[in-house]
């Protein structure tokens, strides 16, 4: 069922009795790879301080390398024929050296970072990973952990000739407890496959990503991926109960617990969640999965101002409470791109802002009543000017596509500078407004969309082609603006290669230094995912 409503006397009958007011023709769409991208890969050098980064991006010295490019290669060993003999003995038929087969693993999803690795290793067991890392550590060979290679900050591909250690064949589900909902699986399990497995057993994964058809759960954990369900189920730091990790020297750290409560000493698994493969290689995960909701509704609303959108969010949280699972937004510029480039019809009348709300519950009657009460209040309070509701799967996918396909639409605009920022909720759109004012006519378009529920803005700035002058105007303005609000320059995609030297905009030097100490303790030779996450030079 799908129905549309307007702020009029006829609305109330439709809302109260679920009677269709107007039916829209929907075209079901499938989800695309991650829509919320950011950053730009240029050329840079090591040892760049924060001060010089600021000078560079303010426009001065544009001939200098960018802080977002790769540093000089560190003095790691190079792979020899003897090394290949060892790897082939451990992984017969799973040691890949064919350049054609290596191509896709050497290039990131955005095709902005390209490595030159000559070896791809595909282990199937934790023991094989242990033997490989023990050997690489003794030989001082750098290793690049890789899952589904859907990362967005250059963290999942080699920078130089690092050995690619893939989880692709580590894809077994180990156990599932139907009573507790705890799933234990190898790190290479594809997120969508896990979702399908769980749905057959009346459960779901606690995270949902646009890249779910190709991303691996180990990579999700290693980057602490966010996604559309974070508002309801929280981050992976709360839902991951245990990890099995192989350390740089080959030691296996078995913290694969399945307990909801365990306060025995330090919670070591948290070190590896979000560490982007720089501290250890995740081989297995235990994760708490929620029950599959029996009732799902998606609402698409229009608001005249962002203040009204925020008030709608407040009202939504208060009236929908336990059934609210997502609250997303996009602006009118996003809608223009969707209509112009993808020919997606706007399901409601034109508005400056649009909201996608999802509810998930166990009682359809109860959920619909709460939903209708919320809609009545939102319309009566003039917070919402128009909207539509979908309860059927195909129509739900169509409404979600208005949010998820924005990045696809942006690809038709030219070159896009993409940023993933976390801010206090009341400030998230002010950055878009201030950026438009700051750039004036230098940008083709400045659009904003993201997760209102967790203050995550995806800011996209387009130009006909790469424009160094435009980039100099964007950075460091965007990072300084974010830092002034005590925000995060990387909300849900990590730092990887592209953002590592910007870490000081969000973290104090003492914290970064401690991160460096932890890295040195767990990986003293620095062989795990070098050139990623930590800055080239610690303060």
Burial class (CB within 10 angstroms; exposed 0-12, middle 13-18, buried 19+) of 1:
exposed
Same domain, 193 and 282: yes
Confidence of residue 59 (pLDDT cuts 50, 70, 90): very low
Do 180 and 258 touch, CB atoms closer than 8 A? Answer: yes
Q: What token pair was written down for 488? A: 């995060």
CATH code, domain carrying 420 = 3.30.70.2740
Identify the residue whose tokens are 């991160």: 515
Would you say residue 41 lies in a domain?
Answer: no
Would you say residue 44 lies in a domain?
Answer: no
Same domain, 131 and 203: yes
CATH code, domain carrying 381 = 3.30.70.2190
pTM of the entire structure?
A: 0.83
Same domain, 520 and 384: no
Same domain, 478 and 341: no
Give the domain-ending residue among 371, 406, 441.
Answer: 406
Give the domain-ending residue among 354, 388, 406.
Answer: 406
Same domain, 320 and 258: no
Partners of 308 in beta bridges: none
Same domain, 358 and 496: no
pLDDT (tens digit, 9 = 90+) per residue, 89-146? Answer: 999 999 999 999 999 999 988 787 899 999 999 999 999 999 999 999 999 999 999 9
Would you say residue 37 lies in a domain?
Answer: no
| 516, 517, 518, 523: CA torsion to nearest 10 | 80
Question: Averaging pLDDT over each range in 56-65, 326-335, 408-417, which range is the top one?
Answer: 326-335
Same domain, 110 and 202: yes
Same domain, 437 and 492: yes
Give the domain-ending residue among 371, 387, 406.
Answer: 406
More confident residue, 45 or 69: 69
Would you say residue 38 lies in a domain?
Answer: no
Q: Going by C-beta distance under 8 Å and a sequence separation of 6 or more, which residues neighbour residue 222?
A: 145, 147, 272, 273, 274, 275, 276, 277, 282
Least confident window among 2-16, 152-166, 225-239, 368-382: 2-16
pLDDT of residue 110: 76
CATH code, domain carrying 260 = 3.30.465.10
Same domain, 74 and 193: yes
Would you say residue 103 lies in a domain?
Answer: yes
CA 148, CA 191: separation in Å to the nearest integer?
A: 10
Same domain, 357 and 471: no
Would you say residue 46 lies in a domain?
Answer: no
Same domain, 501 and 520: no
Three-state SS for 50-66 is HHHHHHHHCCCCCCCCC
Q: Going by C-beta distance under 8 Å and a sequence separation of 6 or more, which residues neighbour residue 394?
A: 26, 28
CA 214, CA 104: separation in Å to the nearest integer?
A: 13
Same domain, 282 and 163: yes
Identify the residue whose tokens are 């939504």: 316
pLDDT (tens digit, 9 = 90+) per residue, 173-206? Answer: 999 999 999 999 999 999 999 999 999 999 999 9
Mean pLDDT of 368-385: 94
Would you say residue 35 lies in a domain?
Answer: no
Would you say residue 482 lies in a domain?
Answer: yes
**Structural domain count, the chain:** 3
Sheet holding 415-422: strands in order across? 2-6, 386-390, 295-303, 353-361, 324-331, 445-451, 456-463, 415-422
pLDDT (tens digit, 9 = 90+) per residue, 260-269? Answer: 999 999 999 9
pLDDT (tens digit, 9 = 90+) per residue, 437-467? Answer: 999 999 999 999 999 988 999 999 999 988 9
More confident residue, 407 or 60: 407
Do 414 and 462 touch, CB atoms closer than 8 A? Answer: yes
What range does the domain containing 87 cover? Answer: 52-289+507-539
Give the β-pairing of 415-422 and 456-463. antiparallel
């Amino acid at each position: 069922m799908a129905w549309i409503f307007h702020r009029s006397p006829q609305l109330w009958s439709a809302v109260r009795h679920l009677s269709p007011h107007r039916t829209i023709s929907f075209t079901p769409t499938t989800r695309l790879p991650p829509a919320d991208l950011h950053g730009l890969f240029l050329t840079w050098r090591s040892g760049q301080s924060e001060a010089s980064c600021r000078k560079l991006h303010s426009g001065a010295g544009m001939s200098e390398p960018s802080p977002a490019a790769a540093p000089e290669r560190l003095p790691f060993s190079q792979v020899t024929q003897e090394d290949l003999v060892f790897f082939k003995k451990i992984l017969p038929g799973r040691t890949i050296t064919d350049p054609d087969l290596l191509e896709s693993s050497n290039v990131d999803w955005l095709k902005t970072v390209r490595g030159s690795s000559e070896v791809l290793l595909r282990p199937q067991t934790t023991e094989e990973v242990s033997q490989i890392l023990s050997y690489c550590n003794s030989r001082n060979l750098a290793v690049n952990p890789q899952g589904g290679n859907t990362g967005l900050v250059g963290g999942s591909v080699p920078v130089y000739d690092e050995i690619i250690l893939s989880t692709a064949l580590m894809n077994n589900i180990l156990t599932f407890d139907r009573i507790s909902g705890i799933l234990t699986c190898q790190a290479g399990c594809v997120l969508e496959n896990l979702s399908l497995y769980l749905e057959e057993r009346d459960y779901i994964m606690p995270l949902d990503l646009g890249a779910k058809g190709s991303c691996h759960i180990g990579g999700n954990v290693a980057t602490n991926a966010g996604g559309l369900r974070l508002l309801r189920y929280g981050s992976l730091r709360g839902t991951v109960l245990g990890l099995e990790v192989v350390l740089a020297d080959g030691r296996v750290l078995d913290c694969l617990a399945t307990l909801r409560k365990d306060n025995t000493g330090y919670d070591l698994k948290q070190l590896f969640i979000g560490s982007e493969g720089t501290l250890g290689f995740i081989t297995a995960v235990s994760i708490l999965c929620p029950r599959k909701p029996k009732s799902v509704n998606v609402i698409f609303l229009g608001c005249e101002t962002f203040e009204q959108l925020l008030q709608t969010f407040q009202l939504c949280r208060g009236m929908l409470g336990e059934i609210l699972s997502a609250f997303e937004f996009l602006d009118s510029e996003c809608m223009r791109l969707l209509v112009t480039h993808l020919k997606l019809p706007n399901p409601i009348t034109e508005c400056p802002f649009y909201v996608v709300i999802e509810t998930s519950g166990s009682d359809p009657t109860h959920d619909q009543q709460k939903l209708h009460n919320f809609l009545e209040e939102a319309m009566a309070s003039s917070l919402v000017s128009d909207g539509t509701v979908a309860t059927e799967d195909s129509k739900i996918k169509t409404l979600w596509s208005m949010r998820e396909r924005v990045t696809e639409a942006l690809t038709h605009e030219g070159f896009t500078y993409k940023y993933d920022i976390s801010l206090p909720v009341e400030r998230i759109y002010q950055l878009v407004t201030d950026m438009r004012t700051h750039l004036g006519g230098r940008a083709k378009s400045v659009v904003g969309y993201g997760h209102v529920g967790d203050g995550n803005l995806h800011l996209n700035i387009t130009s006909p082609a790469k424009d160094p002058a435009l980039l100099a105007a964007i950075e460091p303005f965007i990072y300084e603006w974010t830092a002034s609000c005590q925000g995060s320059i990387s909300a849900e995609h990590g730092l990887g290669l592209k953002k590592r030297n910007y870490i000081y905009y969000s973290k104090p030097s003492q914290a970064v230094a401690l991160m460096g100490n932890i890295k040195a303790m767990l990986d003293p030779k620095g062989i795990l995912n070098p050139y990623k996450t930590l800055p080239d030079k610690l303060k």
